[in-house]
Structure formats: structure tokens, C-alpha cells
Structure 1
Amino acid sequence: MLKSPTNIKGFDAITSGGLPAGRTTLVAGDAGAGKTVFALQVLAEGARTYAEPGIFVAFEESAQRIKNNAQTFGWDLDALERENLFFLDAQPDTGLLHSGEFDIEGMLAALEARVSAMGAKRIVFDAIDIILAMMPDIGSVRHQVFRLHSWLLEHELTAVITMKSVRDSLVIPGLQPLDFMQFMVDCALQLNHGIQDGVSQRSLRVCKYRGTAFEENEVPFVIGSSGIEVAFTSNWDYPEIPVSDERLSSGVARLDEMMDGGYFRGASILLTGSPGTAKTTLSGAFAAAGCERGENVLFVSFDSRSDEIVRNLESVSIRLAPHIQSGRLRMQSLRALTSSAETHLLRIRELADEHGATCLVIDPLSALAKSGNVGRAPSVAERMIDWAKAAGMTVMCTSLVDEGGEPMESTPIQVSTIADAWLHLSNVIHAGERNRALSVIKSRGTGHSNQVRELLLSSDGIDLTEVYTSGGEVLMGSMRWAREREEALAKREREARAAQERARLQAETSELEHQIALLQDRLVSKREEESTLHERYEQINEENSKTRAQLHRLRKGKTSRQDEAGDDEQ
């Protein structure tokens, strides 16, 4: 089936390409549902984006009022009207008394000439129930509706017909329901507008679409500064984003160590915890670190005013004011109950685009799940993270959870499964003292610490202590200080005793060394005495030998010379 794209965000996704080209689409809804805005946007986008001339037939409001009301959307209808748009005022004069059978032949004849002259491809009949209410009976209504439908098919126009509905039934005041029109057209849309717990909610449902697949479930939509945006995403809505291995600092050195170097660029980080566990403080540290890297950061708060956040974070040496003044950081405070979750998503996207943000902080994202948005908050949160990652932003979201000991396996907004990193903050209450603790539940694609660290906030900044255990128990706060002090005193006592023992041993060693030195001196003296005695003994032996030899010679009556001569002869 040929389709005419509407360029309405999300709508072309749920219809797999747009409205049926050359066929009729019925748009029904209650008051304020956005029927006229939808129809006019289809025409404006057709003329502006796809160069398809269009005609707008207004049965309820004047064309000028409709154009004035649409000025806030930035479509520049006046410029489009000069070339590709034509507005026809067709409001019936209710003061006239009609006699005979009323038909639309005259209007169709005039439109045929206009279609031919401008080569129109699209046409809108807005609030057709106004003109049908002038018909005398239901038979006449059916005849005129079928005549209009045949005329549209004959000219192969992509048509949008809008009319009122009550509880999903098409009605004309004073006549029977016109549900037969839903069977006649090729595509039927139902727009709803209601109040849930005091919050305005709009939704859209494709009731039928011949010849093609479409999203059958009801989907929410909002009317923003650029028109209608349908809250629906599919895989082809986002381009393929290259995966980055770049690490971004959390703003806390020891937390970066726990995360094996920090967060991945383009990742989604979820901080959960009960009130007072420092979720906003860690978010502020991340925002400050991003600004210091030269990135643009958007910080959206649903709980506190921006100036209060700046003041409060000064107490822990996180200074955001210079970054706000430099233009790197944009702080925006919103209130969850003032608008629907879809409207908040649209607003955050607009703010991020205006600021050129590469880092986004939403504190807390769980605020979107307050009254009036409970059922839609998970879907909005998921699409917000998908959009941020598709835009290449690193997004940090906080979520409020009830204190319950071990971290929960999911969060109220149900985004824990799609978050790339999940950090849980908790209060540890022991011995009448409350202390903050941080643990990393998961961090995809990177190693991370499995320890529960105590989180300390002081005028020097944020710090995470090393895990301290005693007797198999993790101690924090004053109990840790007291136990550390006890261990320090015990250590000093052990060191003192060890020093005394070392001194005693050194003294004994010195005494032994002195004794050894004396013995060595005596040994040397004895060896010298032994050597002298040996030499003396040798001298005595030599003298004795000489004496014996002399006596021998004397006994034989020989002189010494004769003895020597005799010895020579021998």
C-alpha cells in the first residue's frame, strides 16, 4: 500500500509509514483531543516537507482563527498558503432556514476546481459533524457521506476527516451514531483526552488500517511547541550509534576506582536510594565533572529549585555556579504534577537540543510515576533513556526507592533492566546511628567492586572509605571509629612491648658481642704465644743439634776444619 508520511514524530512508526495515500482517514475524538491540530499538521508537513499541496476545509472555526491558533507551532502557514496551502471557510449559517434537501455538491464543485488548479494531493474536512447536523435524517447523512467518500476516491486525494466522538462512538447532535463511517474509511483513528488524578492525558489508537500492519495498542501523545508528538518508538527510529570505550569520571575518585575507571560514554546510569542517601549529591558531582571536561550538561530536577541545589552542593565542595555562568551547565526545575509524563519527556528533549547537551541528569526520574502518571511512567522512562543514548548522551537518572535492607531487584519506574550501570545508596542504621553506604549492583561491560563502601560527605567533598570489617561484621561511622581507636591503642601497646623486647635483646646481644670480642683477643694472644713457643722450641732443638755435633768432634780429636774436610771427601 502506498502511504503518505505525516512527519509527525512517532505516528509514522505506529502506522508503518503514515496515512494511506489516495484514501480517506477518519480522525475522531472528544473536545480538546487534538483532532484539528493533527489534521492541520498533516497538511502543513505535506506542503513543507513533501511538496504536496493541500486544502483545509473548516466547518466549525474560521480559517483565520485556525491559523492564528497554530502560530505557536512554527509551521509558517502564511508562507505555505501562498504556494501549497488553501483554506476554505465552510461554516454553515445557522441563522438561515433551509428548505428542501441540503447537499454538498456545490462545495465539492468549488473544491474540484481548486484541486485541479493547485494540483492538490491532500485535503482535510475538519469537524464534518457540524455540516452533517443540518441533514434532515440519517438517510440523508449517509447519502452525503458516501457522496463525499466517492468524490475523494475519484480524485485520489489523501483525505483526513475529523469529527466528534463520545465514548468511542461517532455522533451528530440529535441524530443516530455514525459508526458506519468507521467501516467506510480505510483508516480510523481515535483521539482521547481525559484527566487522571488531576493530570491531563492524551492518547491515540489506530482502530483500523486496511491492507497494512499497525500498532493496535493505545499510545499516548502530547501537543508540544512543534505540534503533535506520538509517544512511540521502534528500532528504526534511532540510528545505529557506535559503542564507545571512553571512560567518564563520576566526579568521585574512589567511585571511579570501584567502577574500574568510571562510566562508559553514552551509557545510562541509575542511582537508587531512599531520601537523604546522597543521590542528588552524586548527580551534582557527575554534572560538575562533565563541565570540567568541557561538555554541556543539562540537569533536570523534579524535587528542588535550581538555586537550592547549587547552594546545598556548595557544602560538599561541589561548585556548580561557575559552570552555570560559563554556559556549560543548564539547571531546570520542573514539577511532575504540572504536566503528563509525556509532556515532561518532550520538554526535556527540547531543553537538551537547545543546550547541545552531551550529559543529562534527571533527578529523580521516579517523580514521573506520581499520581496521574503511574501507568505511563515506565514507558516514558524507557523511551527517555533510549532517546538519550541514541543522541549520544550519557544519562544519569536517580530513582527513589523504599528503604528495605537489601537493594531491590527492580525499581518503581522499571528501568533497572535497561540501565547500563546501577548504583544503590542506602542508610545503614546500627547502634543508634545512621550512615550512608554505596554498592554497585551492576555495570555492564566492565569490572566493578562488589564491596559495600561507606559514603562520607564533608566540607572537603565526597569520599568512599575502604571496607572495614571486625569479627565478620562491616562497621561504619562512630562504631568503626571506636573499633579503629581500640585497635590503634592495642597496636601501640604491642609496639611498645616489642620495642622493650628489642632493647633487651639488643643489650644482651651487645654483651655477647663484647664477650666474643674479648675471647677473640685472648685467642689471638694464645695463638701468638703458641707460635713463640714453637719458634723457641725449634731454636733449642737446633742449638742442641749443634752442641751434640761439637761434642762428637771433640771426642774424636778432630778440629772443626778437619771434620769439614772429611765431610767433603766423603
Structure 2
Amino acid sequence: MLQAPVSIPQPDASKARSGITGLDEMTGGGLPRGRTTLLAGGPGSGKTVVSLQFLVNGARHCKEPGIFVAFEESSQRIAANAQGFGWGIDELQKNNELYFLDAQPAPDLVLSGNFDLSGMLAVLDGQVKALKAKRVVVDALDIVLALLPDPMSKRREIYRLHDWLLANGLTAIITAKAGGDATGAMVEQSLGFMQFMVDCSILLNHGVVLGVSQRNIRIQKYRGAVFDENESPFLISKNGFEVAVARTMGRLDALVSNERVSSGVERLDTMLGGGYYRGASVLITGFPGTAKTTLSGAFAEAACQRGERTMFVSFDSDGSEVVRNLNSVGIRLEPYVKSGVLRMISARTITGSAETYLGRIKALAEEHQTRCLVIDPVSTLSKSGNELTAHNVAERLIDWCKGAGTTLVCSSLLDEMASQSEGGSPLQISTLADTWIHLNYLVQGGERNRGMSIIKSRGTSHSNQVRELILSDKGVTLADTYTAGGEVLMGTMRWEKESAERVAAEVAEAAARLKKVRLDAEEAELEVRVKSLQSELIAKQAEKALLASTTEGRARELTRGRSEMAELRGADAAQPPSGAA
């Protein structure tokens, strides 16, 4: 039975929810309501996307109409660029829930005299009252400030805008281009003081690490609220801006189950005490060619046989190649691909950072309603930027699967040049996995054989033996542990030793049968002799009895004859012997 997650706290009324995945978690509920937030970042960091998404979600889900003031791009271009997100901006505009105010200065503008924002604010004030707007975005304010002649003028207009926003009780976002170092930790000098003036300051960074695009968001300040101070990666997906936030400490959203699911290998299920836990994360590590993909495929086949929607993500090969290769070891995935139960994904078609991989995998899994997920190998994420980012992505992948109750099996490729001993994943996620299965080679007698062991399996009693993994066209199985002289034998050496013992056992059995036949013959011979002796004994006993009977009869006859003779002669009665009383 799956245990229900704990209840989610009610949103803070003093905060306006942005509706952006992850951002509300970082801010503890949203942006400060009725206050101003500064959003700074370099080109392509997603400032406009965040701002527009904030307005769209406010209009759709919070019944808070919004106004977008565009200083850099025209409203037509902004709306056209946002069409791919499916936000329905045209519909919001028709329903007077979203309004675009074009305020771009002409490229050939020549300033003469004083310049301020009073006129724009007057127009904006009328639109706020007409729409009863609650949210406002001022996009690329630095474009207008660049027209002002000196820092004092720029600061004056910034204060004018900020005071107007506060006076109208609007939840506002002001975006500005960031300057300074590559981390985006500083904004342009003319806007630097805004970080002290606003109630919330958010920095966006878009850089390249080891040739891979990386995007990060950091909340620099948030007055009167607890927030996540650390950098968090984000990506811009088909749904818009998404922040990857680590799980909050103490959060109990994982669906815990005592149900077991098969690994696809019967003898491995026995070693695990019944199989994997439903919703568990399983890590299969090993060197190239140790059958990591095969074990993953066996699990996918077993899941499909149970009728569970499964997704197999391969970083090494195309889906059709994986299906063909697994077919050679008796794992038939093609029928399930055709029926739609199994979805094969070639991750080589996905380019970008580890965050991009995670976002794409999550979107595809949710679209397929995946119950069981296979990623082969997950260690590829470590090549998409720095290993720290990849580790965080792998950690969130496991957390997301646990929260969704999805059983995750992922393989991890170990360095083939490293020592062939038990080692953790390059992503260092072996401590996070519930079950860790390690595959390796054992070289004996001039051949390599595959060995499998269970390093850990939380919550289950499991075997500590090293088993030989045997692949054939009939499927995958594990050989019984065979030791000789304290050493585990595998492959030909095991076969030769078992064959020799089998022959020796047959010889011993034949010798035992022969000895039994000889003993049976001797026993029969003895039984015949015993019967003969018994017959001879009976004859002797009869002869003896006859002799005794004959002797006794003769004695009686002699005594009777003497008596009759005496009577015939008339002799005196017999006298007692002399000396008798």
C-alpha cells in the first residue's frame, strides 16, 4: 500500500505566487505582494520569460490582471516569442487580463531638454485603473535610463517609478541587464543602488561550463522572509521557466510502498528477498560489457509483462538498436514498443546541460504516464557540464521518481581504465540509491566472466554472494556459487571443475553399484549355505531322536523279555542286592 504524502501548507497571503516551478519554493511562497522585485541578468538569461510567465500565471490562476511595459522589444515580438509556451496570451489580451504597453524609444531619438517618466506613468496609471491590474512588469528599464544624462537623473527616475508602484500597491518586477563578471553577481553601476531599494533582488546567470550551457538563479535578498540563498540551476522548457530546487529538509512527499516488483531475473529476485521495492531507486554499476543494459532491459521487460507503462532512456544507442541487441539474450521488447506500453528514448537527440536532460526526461515520463523508468547510463550526465551540477541533477531525478512513485533503474558506467574493483558511480549517487548492484569481470584461465554482487539493498535481507551472470539466447540467469580451495570459480574453470566432480561422482556411483551386486551375491550364497546347514541340522536332530527312541524301545523290550522268561521258569522273586536294609 502506498502511504499518502503529508499535507501541503497553505500559501502565505503576503506573497504573490509566481506559478513558476521551483521559484515559489525558493522564495517560500512567491514574490513580495505589493512590493517591487529587481530581476537582473545577462543576455539570454530568461528575464523576459520569467516576467511574462509571472503575469500569465497571475491572470490565469490568481485572478490578478497584469501589465507588461516593454522598453526593449515590441509587444508583438514578445507575444510571438511566447507562443511556443502555450500560455494563450492572445486570449488573455482579449479578456482584458493582460495588457502590453509599448514604450520603446525611437532608435534615432535625439534628446533636448529634460526627460522623465512622468508621461509614461500617467498612461500606465490609466491602464492600471481600467484593468484593475495587480501586477506590473517593467522590462529592460536600463534602456530608458541610458537616455538620461547623469547618474542623479537616473536615480531620480528610478525613485519616481518605485514610489509610483508602491503608491498603487502593485506587485512589480523590474528587469535590468547585468554587468560585471561572468557569474552575473553585479548589475550595471547605474542600477546598483536599486538592490538596496527594492524588497527582493533576483540574479539570473547564463554561462558556459566545459562547453555546456549552464543557467543559474540566485535570490540575493528578500526582506522580511526566509528564502533559499544558494544558487539553483534552471532551464527554459516548452512550459517556460523552471527552477530545479532540491528537496526541502523534512519534506515527506515520497510514496512509500512495501510492494515488490520483479527485476526480470528470477534468481536475482531470490537474492533480493523478493525483488525491488515499488518506487525504489536501483543503481547498476559496472565496466563496459558487464551486462548493465541487459539487466536494465530485463527489468523493463518484466514491467511491461505486468502491464506497467515503462520508459527506457538510452544515452548510448538508438532505441531500435537496444531492442535488437536485447533480443539476442532472450529479452523481447519489440511487442511492447508496438503496443505503446514501452517507450524507447534515444537521449543522444537531446543536447544541452544536465538540467536540460532532466527536464526533457521528466516531461517525456509524465507524458507517457511512466510507472517504471530505465536510464542507461545515468553517468552520461557527468559529461554535461561540471560533475557537481550533474550530481545535483541525479539527486533531483531520484527525488522526483520517489515523489511520483516511479520505480527507477539506472546504470552507471565506470572508468574502464580504472582498477576493476567495486567502485561508486562517477555522479556519487550510490549513497542515494536504495539498491546497488555491481557487475565486474573475473579473469580466470585466460577468459573473462561476468560476476554480480549486491552491495546494498535498503530494507531487505539480501545475499552477500558473488554470482556468475550467464547470458544466452534463452535469457539471463545466475549460476550457483562454486568455490574450490577458497576461490570462487566461474566460466570454463567452473565448468571443468563441475565436470570432473560429476565424472568422479558417476565413477563412485558405479563402484558402489558393483559392490552392492557383489555383496548381494555373497549374501545370497550365505543364505543358501545357511539353509543347507539348517537342513543338515534338522536331519541330524531327527537321526538323533530316532536313535534315542530306538535305544529306549530296545531297553524296554529287553526288560519285558526278561520278566516273561522268569515267570515261565517259576523262579523266585528277585531279591534285593546284598547289603540292602
SS at match of 1:451: coil
Alignment match, 1:263: 276
In 1, distance between residues paired with 2:80 and 2:570? 166
Alignment match, 1:420: 434
Q: Does 1:404 align with 2:419?
A: yes
In 2, distance between residues paired with 1:253 and 1:22? 61
388, 394, 414: which one aligns with 2:407: 394
SS at match of 2:163: helix
Alignment match, 1:351: 364
Alignment match, 1:379: 392
Alignment match, 2:227: 214
Q: CA deviation at 1:493?
A: 3.3
535, 540, 545: which one aligns with 1:526: 540
Q: Gaps (5+ residues) in structure 1? A: 559-570
In 1, distance between residues paired with 2:535 and 2:481? 60
Q: CA deviation at 1:370?
A: 0.6
Q: How does 1:372-521 map to 2 (within 5 A)?
A: 372-402=385-415, 403-408=418-423, 410-521=424-535
Change (3 A) 1:543 1:80: farther
Q: CA deviation at 1:80?
A: 1.6
In 1, distance between residues paired with 2:563 and 2:119? 175
Q: CA deviation at 1:13?
A: 1.0
TM superposition score normalised by structure 1: 0.92
Q: CA deviation at 1:136?
A: 1.5
Match for 1:461: what amino acid?
G
- Residue-pair matches, total: 553
- 1:238/1:390 contact within 8 Å kept: no
Alignment match, 2:22: 10
- 1:295/1:358 contact within 8 Å kept: yes
Change (3 A) 1:548 1:59: farther
- 1:102/1:135 contact within 8 Å kept: yes
Deviation track 1:361-404 (CA, whole Å, cap 9, x = no partner) reads 00000000015242211110010011011101110010011352
Q: CA deviation at 1:556?
A: 7.7
Deviation track 1:402-444 (CA, whole Å, cap 9, x = no partner) reads 3524312x32111111111100000111232111110000111
Deviation track 1:256-282 (CA, whole Å, cap 9, x = no partner) reads 111111111111110000100000011
Alignment match, 2:36: 24
Q: CA deviation at 1:206?
A: 0.6
SS at match of 1:338: coil
Q: How does 1:353-368 map to 2 (within 5 A)?
A: 353-368=366-381
Q: CA deviation at 1:460?
A: 1.3
SS at match of 1:375: helix
- 1:341/1:373 contact within 8 Å kept: no
Alignment match, 1:567: none
In 2, distance between residues paired with 1:144 and 1:539? 162
In 2, distance between residues paired with 1:518 and 1:442? 73
Alignment match, 1:566: none
268, 291, 294: which one aligns with 2:307: 294
TM superposition score normalised by structure 2: 0.91
Q: CA deviation at 1:516?
A: 1.2
- 1:194/1:202 contact within 8 Å kept: yes
Q: CA deviation at 1:489?
A: 3.0
Q: How does 1:13-162 map to 2 (within 5 A)?
A: 13-81=25-93, 82-162=95-175
Alignment match, 2:7: none
Q: What percentage of aligned pairs have identical amino acids? A: 55
In 2, distance between residues paired with 1:242 and 1:217? 28
- 2:326/2:332 contact within 8 Å kept: yes
Alignment match, 2:285: 272
Q: CA deviation at 1:461?
A: 1.2
Q: CA deviation at 1:552?
A: 7.7
In 2, distance between residues paired with 1:237 and 1:164? 37
Match for 2:221: what amino acid?
K
Q: Alignment RMSD, CA only?
A: 2.1
Q: How does 1:163-242 map to 2 (within 5 A)?
A: 163-167=176-180, 168-171=185-188, 176-235=189-248, 240-242=253-255
